[in-house]
Amino acid sequence: MATQLTARKHGSAPPRRRRSVLARHDAMAGLLFVLPCLVLFLVFRFGPAVAGGVLGFFDYTIGGTAEWKGLDNFRRLWEDPVFWSALRVTLVYSLIAVPVTVAAALGMALLTRRAFRGVRFFRSVFFLPVITSLVLAGAIFRWLFSAEGPWTTMLGWIGLGGTPWLESSTMVIPALALVGVWSRFGYGMLILLAALQNVPRELEEAATVDGAGAWQRFRHVVLPQLRPALFFLAVIETTMSFQAFDAIYTMTGGGPAHASFTLVFDLYEQGFKYFDLGYAGAIGVALFIMTLVVALIQRLLLGRDK
């Protein structure tokens, strides 16, 4: 009260009011700095996503006029066997790629957690696939998995040779999932490394004093602390696996016999091969809903406490 009376006496604003004014000025300055990125996001990311969802309710081709169809595209989707086949392929791919990616990321994060000579080099090498062009990597892996490639040759040495994986309807999805794991585990490694740095060492030391082994310390001390990071990583990797396209397009083109024909591949063909943008929009809506449902399930399983 005395401070406010003194401030009024000298004709200046009270300290609390001055702080609120400065906070508003800082907020406005921050908003001005992020405004260009926000506009770009709204125009080139959020806007097209909304437009694609709206197109799902229209019959529209490039250069034509949009005709309202209501739920006709979604009824067509429900009756389309190609869509259900693509959905099955997408789910199988994700069920292989996501757990292996998270496990590989966790393993590499634990290996490179401690400081040792050359640890920064190994972290950089493990992260390198994340910034490598998947089109270029897909061309290289297509040769690796070909009949004359090293992978098929090595399998032949141990008696497991036969049809190259990319030409086999059974093994093409595991081959593509391995490429997906290779291209993504480095990102997850960095996320989990950051989370591991926040695990209190005192907890692990106390568990060691109590006689806990390495596996017990990991299971009961480290792993619970990693739950938020694992939840985030699981959602991100699931979303990326549902949207896998670059390597599949480069390596197999959806073959053989539609064995690697995913939902995004179906969306691409409907939109950019047949120019049926309304039906492609309906596929995009279905893909979004499926991703959201899986994310909510993961939230229930991994993110209950956060």
199 vs 7: CA distance, rounded Å = 47
For 222-261, the pLDDT digits (tens) are 888 898 899 899 999 999 999 999 999 999 998 898 899 9
Looking at residue 2, its pLDDT comes to: 47
Looking at residue 5, its pLDDT comes to: 44
Residue 58: enclosing H or E segment and its boundaries? strand 58-59
Which single residue is written with the structure tokens 């008696």? 159
Tell me if 254 sits within 8 A of 265, measured CB to CB.
yes
For 8-52, the pLDDT digits (tens) are 444 555 566 666 767 777 888 888 888 989 898 888 888 888 888
Among the ranges given (11-15, 88-92, 130-134, 151-155), the one the predictor scored with the smallest mean pLDDT: 11-15
For 276-286, the pLDDT digits (tens) are 899 999 999 99
Looking at residue 304, its pLDDT comes to: 58
3-class DSSP state of 256: coil
Looking at residue 16, its pLDDT comes to: 66
Looking at residue 200, its pLDDT comes to: 82
How far is the CA of 262 from the CAs of 51, 52, 247, 252, in angstroms? 22, 18, 12, 11
- Residue 256 CB neighbours (<10 A): 14
pLDDT for residue 104 is more than 90: yes
Q: Which two structure tokens, joined as six digits, stand for 21?
A: 């004014």
pLDDT for residue 98 is more than 70: yes
Judging by beta carbons within 10 Å of its beta carbon (0-12, 13-18, 19+), is residue 186 exposed, middle or buried?
buried
Among 241, 256, 232, 242, which residue's Cα sits nearest to residue 179?
Answer: 241
3-class DSSP state of 68: strand
Looking at residue 185, its pLDDT comes to: 94
pLDDT for residue 3 is more than 80: no
For 58-95, the pLDDT digits (tens) are 988 877 788 898 899 999 999 999 999 999 999 999 99
250 vs 131: CA distance, rounded Å = 17
HSE at residue 288, side-chain half, CA atoms within 13 A, is: 12
Residue 303: pLDDT band with limits 50, 70, 90: low
- pTM, 2 dp: 0.84
Q: What is the mean pLDDT of the chain?
A: 86
Residue 7: pLDDT band with limits 50, 70, 90: very low
Query: What percentage of the chain carries pLDDT values higher than 90?
Result: 40
Instruction: Answer left, alpha or beta for residue 57, where phi above 0 means left and psi between -120 and 50 means alpha.
Output: alpha
Cα-to-chain-centroid distance, residue 88: 19
pLDDT for residue 189 is more than 90: yes
pLDDT for residue 183 is more than 50: yes
List all residues 6 or more positions away from 235 whose beta carbon is below 8 Å from its beta carbon: 295, 298, 299
- Domain residue ranges in the chain: 14-55, 72-302
3-class DSSP state of 252: coil
Query: What percentage of the chain carries pLDDT values higher than 70?
Result: 92
Residue 148: pLDDT band with limits 50, 70, 90: confident
Burial 40-61 (b: 16+ CB within 10 A, else e): eeeeeeeeeeeebeebbbbbbe
Please give the CATH topology (third level) of the domain spanning 72-302: MetI-like fold (1.10.3720)
